[in-house]
């Protein structure tokens, strides 16, 4: 077996094979709560395994993806699925570049994997249809264990409009 060590500047680089991710996806999908409940919430929800790979995504995540399907993001990490500009800076992918050290999404996910709830702002730079765009999110990570394996429920909601509404009014307006 060839096990090559990938470089990382932040989060661990290791991944599990897609067969393991598919097994985890099937196990999560069998639960009574997962698909139906997560599709009812307004936030975009991902369930990530211990290697930060997407095992499940709520239907509304499709709105963030653009050209990709929900099935095509299984096994990817969130930044890879959302086309973060820095997700491919390192061969190991999302979470492993020096820029990821400042990413609220990466920090929240790592906190969740460490057994702690975390809420942070994440600002992703993306290229969508050859156009640079920004995606400003409030992200929340919650750890949980299911059938002896550790996961993180990672939810995101867009905040770019809220930030504009929260800006103080100009004097005299």
Tell me the per-residue pLDDT of 25-68, one tens digit each, with 9 for 90 and over: 999 888 766 667 777 777 999 999 999 999 999 999 998 887 78
Q: Is residue 5 part of a domain?
A: no
- Say if 4 falls within a structural domain: no
Q: What is the pLDDT of residue 163?
A: 46
Is residue 8 a part of any domain in this protein? Answer: no
Domain extent at residue 77 = 33-162
* Closest-CA residue to 6 (of 95, 112, 100, 110): 95
Q: In what order do the strands lie in the sheet with 118-128?
A: 54-57, 44-49, 149-158, 131-146, 118-128
Identify whether 107 is part of a domain.
yes
pTM (2 d.p.): 0.87
Tokens of residue 59, six digits: 């239907």
The least confident of 22-26, 64-68, 79-83, 115-119 is: 64-68
Task: Provide the domain count of the chain.
Answer: 1
Contact 43, 155 (CB under 8 A): yes
Rounded-to-integer distance, Cα 155 and Cα 134, Å: 18
**Residue where the block lists tokens 């809420």:** 119
pLDDT at position 164 over 50: no
The length of the chain in residues reads 173
């Amino acid at each position: 077996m060839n096990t090559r060590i990938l470089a990382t500047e932040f989060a661990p680089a290791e991944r599990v094979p897609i067969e393991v991710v598919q097994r985890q996806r099937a196990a999560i999908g069998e639960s009574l709560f997962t698909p139906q409940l997560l599709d009812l919430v307004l936030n975009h929800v991902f369930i990530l395994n211990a290697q930060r790979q997407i095992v499940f995504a709520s239907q509304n995540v499709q709105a963030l993806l653009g050209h990709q399907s929900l099935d095509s993001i299984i096994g990817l990490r969130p930044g890879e699925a959302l086309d973060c500009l820095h997700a491919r800076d390192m061969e190991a992918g999302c979470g492993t570049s020096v820029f990821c050290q400042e990413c609220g999404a990466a920090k929240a996910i790592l906190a969740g994997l460490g057994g702690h709830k975390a809420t942070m702002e994440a600002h992703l730079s993306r290229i969508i249809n050859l156009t640079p765009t920004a995606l400003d999110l409030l992200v929340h990570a919650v750890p949980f264990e299911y059938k002896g394996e550790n996961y993180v429920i990672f939810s995101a909601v867009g905040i770019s409009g809220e930030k504009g509404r929260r800006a103080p009014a100009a004097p005299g307006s």
